[in-house]
Chains A and B, each alone.
Chain A
Amino acid sequence: MDLSARSCGPRSFVFGALGVTMEDVDEARGAPFHTTAFVTGLGRGIAGALLFALPMQMTMEMWDLGFAMDRFRLALLLVITVPLLVGIAHRIGFEKTFSWREDIRDAMIAYAIGILASAMILTLFKLLTPETAEQDFLGKIALQAVAAGIGALLGRSQLGTDPDDAEDEPDSGYGAELFMMAVGALFLNLNMAPTEEMILISYKMTPWHALATIALSILVMHAFVYAVSFKGGHELEDTPGWHALIRFTLPGYVIALLVSLYCLWSFGRLDGSGSMPALMSTIVLGFPGAIGAAAARLIL
């Protein structure tokens, strides 16, 4: 299979067409613009945005956060989303030979799909009306667009059936591995961090429950990737299991905790809180984060 044929696969939003205008010799030279394929790509993006973002769009706390969230923190989240989407696009969107310029283009299309899909769904639920205050209007859409944008990118790649998946790349780098764990953790955390249950669980827990949660998080993370032989699992061969534990699972857990801390802070769940309650809620949210991180290593 040659490169030009590959780039026309239904996985990308904009196929050969931009390659011509951008004079990128490597990609799809002269390939015709396939309107139907482009529409299919967009459709998959919208499907992904719906699949991954609907739980959040139907969560009351997320609507409240639209106007209650600190504007600086919201802006920071929106800015962080850009390199995150570009990274995902680079990792799963195209082959490695393709340029960052295309990754950025794909990421921005996904972001736009996320924004449009969120606006559409929120309007459908009558959460956005012409009377909605401007700040509320913007905040609600922007907040939902983060998860919907990630969903659009994932939908495009994961719901499609392209045999030339980047997963065939057997030796993805260490950095890429950690990055994917962060994406997986962020994804589950965005779903759960806004809800009151996260802090409520941490208040109910004793320190002993928290210790058990840490142990279980690490165990589940490790087992997911190395033990239960899921599709996409990793092989140890002659490497001892504790090597993988220290080199991959524990850094992954720390990443999950950091992402969890970031999400809680973003949504104002830690304001005025002492260090111990903050740590406990980070551990509680870190549990789904750890599972998300482990799953991302298998799926993405």
Chain B
Amino acid sequence: MARSRRKVVRRHPHWIEWTTGLLSTALVATMTGMILYHGLTAKDAIPELSVTITTQRPTVQGFEVSFIVSNAGKKTAAGVPVTGRLLDGEKQEVETREVTIDYVPAQSQVEGALMFSANPGTYRLDIHASGYSEP
């Protein structure tokens, strides 16, 4: 078959092609603008991590404490160890548990849980993120 397989872009297309094209252009431009703005405002950004406890519930082998790690900063934190300690009165540690969260992206939240064998309800529970690394 001698017919060429090449397609030719017509000079005067249906209006729908231009509408789609212009909408897409606007969308790409908006996206670029957002990133540009983010780039200008998020200079020297650092992760700002905080841990909040959501629920405590008894399990078959002890107690589970669910938490949310939030990163309010504009930089992603990687390998975030979340340490939970049960304290008996004056800094007397009863139990320590730790879990590592792979990534806490910038301005995002990640859920996790720690398992204790003692009841966290009867002690003071201290839970915090103990560090992070660059992704």
Contact = CB atoms under 8 A, between A and B. Distances in A.
B35 A207 contact: yes
Given A174-B14, A174-B16, A244-B9, A276 B28 contact: no
A206 B38 CA distance: 10
B106 interface: yes
Interface in A252-300: 253-254, 257, 272-277, 279-280, 283
A218 B13 CA distance: 22
A211 interface: yes
A253 B28 contact: yes
Nearest to A275: B107
Interface string A234-246: 1111110001101
Interface string A42-57: 0000000000000000
Interface in A177-233: 178, 196, 199-200, 203-204, 206-208, 210-211, 214, 218, 226, 231-233
Contacts of B42: 207
Interface residues of B, number: 44
Contacts of B9: 226, 234-237, 239, 243-244, 247-248
Nearest to A297: B7
A172 interface: yes
Interface stretch (A108-116, A148-156, A162-170): A162-170
Contact of B24 (A237, A251, A277): A251
A2 interface: no
Given A211-B39, A276-B107, A203 B11 contact: no
A279 B34 contact: yes
Interface stretch (B51-59, B80-88, B108-116, B118-126): B108-116
A82 interface: no
A64 to B, nearest CB: 13
Contact of A208 (B10, B39, B103, B105): B39
A6 B75 CA distance: 59
A131 interface: no
Given A232-B5, A239-B9, A253 B35 contact: no
A146 B2 CA distance: 36
A203 B20 contact: no
Given A163-B1, A274-B106, A277-B108, A247 B34 contact: no
A276 B35 CA distance: 8
B17 interface: yes
B73 to A, nearest CB: 10
Contacts of A280: 35
The residue among B4, B24, B27, B102 with the most chain A CB atoms within 10 A of its own CB is B24
A110 B91 CA distance: 65
A244 B10 CA distance: 9
A276 B38 contact: yes
A68 interface: no
Contacts of B111: 272
A276 B43 CA distance: 14
B107 A214 contact: no
B69 to A, nearest CB: 10
Contacts of A17: none
Given A168-B1, A168-B3, A207-B38, A253 B105 contact: no
B17 A247 contact: yes
A272 B109 contact: yes
Interface of A: 163, 167-168, 170-172, 174, 178, 196, 199-200, 203-204, 206-208, 210-211, 214, 218, 226, 231-239, 243-244, 246-248, 250-251, 253-254, 257, 272-277, 279-280, 283
Interface of B: 1, 3-11, 13-14, 16-18, 20-25, 27-28, 31-32, 34-36, 38-39, 42, 74, 76, 78, 102-103, 105-111, 135
7 contacts: A172-B7, A214-B28, A234-B6, A237-B8, A243-B9, A246-B22, A251-B20
